[in-house]
Structure 1
Amino acid sequence: MSGLTTSRPDLRVEPDVVDRRSRLVAAAEPVLADLAEQLGDAAYCVVLADRESRIVDVPVGARRLRDRLAGLGVVAGGVFLEETTGTNSIATAHELRQGIAVHGEEHYLEPFKGFSCYGHPITHPVTHRLEGVLDITCFDRDDSPLLRPFLARAAHDIEERLLRTARRAEQRMLAAFQVAAAGRNRPVLVLGEGVVLANPAAVELLDPVDHIRLRELADGVGRRGTGASPQSPPVRSVRLTSGREVSVRFQAVAPGADGVLFEFTDPGEVRPTAPRRGPVRRAPARTADCLPGTPVYIGGAAGTGRTTTARSLTGADRVLIGAFDASEAAVRGEAAWLVDLDAAADGAPGLLLVEDVHLLPEACAVRLRRLMERPDLWIALTGAPLAELTGHGAAVAAACPAQIELPRLRDRTEDLPDLVRAMLDDLGLGGRLRFTSAALAALAGHPWPGNLRELRTVVRTVVGRRSAGDVTPRDLPAGYQVSPRLRSMTPLERAEHDAIATALRECGGNKLRAAERLGISRTTLYSRMRTLRITV
């Protein structure tokens, strides 16, 4: 199904991507050195691969066997996945997340059928995430059943060293937190892998969802460094889920450490050292600014809340006297539609709502523009985004002095926590059900082609499954369990991300069907999913 033949692999070799200073390598080095001493000149090779199933090194092995494997792509940077190399001890252990033995003919690729291989996953003891795969390979004639427990013991030793490294990192984070928080009333926070340290001021200031934004803000700090000196750590202005804007100074807790220290101040106290990056969106006009009697156009993609925004214009002294859908003019006939529109316009004073005006026929658009000129009549219109309007729809919208442009949900994911809370409140579950930060982060990675309407459907689906407690990513519909995008994307990458995520969602997570729908091979789909950080 992946288009892979048994004669040769579809192997990628990415030596420049290999991280030889990672936690995995640091934890594995003493264990691998011990394996080299134990194996001596025996005809075995030990291979270490990272969490992407990319070979980091082949540090142990007889020269003849290592040269033979190198000719088959078993070199630093070689990516061994089942869809590109078939069944083997690295790819299959990575896929199954469990120890595996592959003997001779059990290999999918013909060139590997002369070998016996054992693979074992390396799992982080704290986070329980896959960190890599350890493999031992030999010629089929040198196979031994003792290799399986031998390899499992070595993988366990690496995991133990990862645990000790994590504990030392926690100690460094605690020390940095204590120094920063000592004698201060300002909020102080430390975020590490599986660790959150916060003083009372930070607990009061921050919502768990804010942690996601802070992690994204500090992406690249820590092991990779920021490029800023310790004397001048970067400062950014951040808007929290509460709506409050604060300045935050952040830096790695120690060179080579994963934890990041955040110190918060009011915006006026510290001037940011660098401007915030990213696209600047024009703030939409507020509904409160739309004066009665002034025609208003509310534009946006379907599902962005155009109707809700229009109806919010009414109040105790603003009554909705009629709501019309432009699409009905084609169904009922233009004459009948215009008769009802005129009758509503001649009734009691209030707000007259006409939706989807970009679909209006010419005669209806002309009549609507005349009604908009009446000083005693207040009209609100909804329709497509202003930039997409043409013809009569554009002319009607242009005649509105007040215009509100509603952004797509994917461009306002920072509002997701408030939107989800409001939807839960509408369903009467606001105090009983809570979306965790991990669940909100998964939703933030979704392209949301259906905007608020689609989000409301997801929330209702979750409510149908559980009515109290914390909602985790596992409680979301399968097609929405998407990891957040951890890096900024170009417009082309974003479009590609959205197309792949939509295809996966519509195919229920079936990658083969999604690849067929997109017109690409499954191998290409897997590759692009890894590059764009899409997981299902």
Structure 2
Amino acid sequence: MPETAARRLRIAAARADFLRFGPADTPAAPGVIAGDVAGVVAASWQRSFSAGVNAATAQAVFHSDLDLTGRLVRCSKPVIARLSDDMAQMPLSIVLTDARARILSRSETNKTIGTLLDQVSLAPGFNYAEGAVGTNGIGTVIESGQSLYIVGPEHFTEHLQPFACAGSPIHDPLTGRVEGVLDISCLSQDSSPLMRSLVRSAAHEIERNLLVDRSQRQQALFEAYVRMDARSRGAVMAIGGTMVMGNAVAQSLFEPAEQWAIHEHGRYLAMGRGAPVDQIELLSGKVVHIRGTRVGVGDNVAGIVMIVDIVSEAAAAPARAAAPVTSIDAAVEDPAVDGVDRSLLGKRTATAIVDALRQRKTLLVMGESGSGKLSLIVDLYHRVVPAGRSRVWAAEDVTANTLTFPAADAGLHAESGPMLYVFTNIDHLTAEAAEGLDRFLVALAASRWPVTVAATVTGPTLDPGLPFAELLARFDASVTVAPLRHRLDDLPQIATRVLATLTGPRGVTIGAAAMRVLCRYTWPRNIRQLEEALESALVKRPVGEIQSEDLPGYCHSGARRLLSPMEAGERDLIVNALHEADGNRVLTAQALGIARSSLYRKLKSFGITAA
């Protein structure tokens, strides 16, 4: 014990000289033995000094926007409870922080230590980042990435000198990212170096809980990814929900923008019906071949694991002009498709529809409700056949006797010019209507009338038990329109086109901030919901430039669950109050008559990311 006290005195002397002379001119303190000041502590002093931390007056800053109900808190609770029971006879405190060194919880075994820690703001909500309060067992753990034991004079600031703390980082077991820090703090005279081993063991237990807490889907996807990575020497990627994984080969072969494009195409393949194998050209010019394996849990698809091979690198312009034209090349170069969509999925879909229309194939277009199937077919048809006409038949308007020659269209005959017939939602046809449409398609195929036929089906799968299933034999080609959430690159163009349709010659535009809000939302009801959002914004701002505050409240929400009508109304009130307060959350809470902590919880729950 005397030796420990003497060592701490020498460290205190070294710290005093550091604060007096600065990092460059600090003389060797008399009696200081090499190794008394650990390298990680000396480096932390340097960082604290460079950050401008005042050793005498620095104070932790309070934050109220904390995630107090997330996975980290949930997985840590049983570990902290067990640790508190095991250490009940020692006066100490157990602290959990997030990855930004903000304290999420504190549990103490002794009321006195709790009171002392309150005096130095080591309490929920306060930020113990190294750049704010200097060397400590939380912020320095995050900066160094390792478990540490910081005692007395090793702390940079004066008010932490009486304490000792041992902290260990908590890593996400899948991504390796630091999720937070577990810290044990007590008075220096009650401390022991064993605290470091104790807190490190507890942190590992929390990491195991984090892994177990992953949903069955995530766990299944992770295990499939590990198996695939072990068998392959190439680039392996896995995508499912919020999980995105890629091995070192994938990271080295593809730039971030290329990885993102492959991820989005993987999500598209995961929701498809056929084999998840495809070849696409990235915007960088690389052509890649994707071999995917869907990962299922029960009847649900957890995600997809993909092996990605580079077929060819970006070619020079002359060689590219002479090369065979792939479907993606055609999407880029075909004037009928130019300007329709920017995303790979959008271009591929448009190219496939144009090819079918040019060859007068009977076309089946599938996709979610509101994804823009009808407008895409009609728009591309008039690009391919400028002089053509189009007519749309809704499923409810089709009966057994509606579609007969010549009653189907009194103006339809050989001299009337090319015509497009689109039958929407044929999966909703009654048995009698499906029979009538079948007779019409057979008669049309036998005629020489210049008619092109297309039909739409709503939903990701085709139910063979529905009446329309017998019609499938009459179609030559099929295309799936990806939902808007899988082609957000196209959203600025789509939003601009929708707005132009709604406003005509008024010249209303969408401001940059509003467009960012639109691009962050996932649009579960696709383009139809986008139309509704812009219609709502036009009520508030019928002319000029639409601003973010003009958009409905749900556009500002990234909530991953369906909100009840009451919750949706509450969300809209909060969004409006935030706009009126210019984003000031303190004033927003006051205007709503709720505590700031309640406001932050609601912002998190409703997924409100911008105001």
More relative contact order, 1 or 2 (CA 8 Å, 6+ apart): 1
TM-score (norm 2): 0.39
Larger radius of gyration: 2
TM-score (norm 1): 0.44
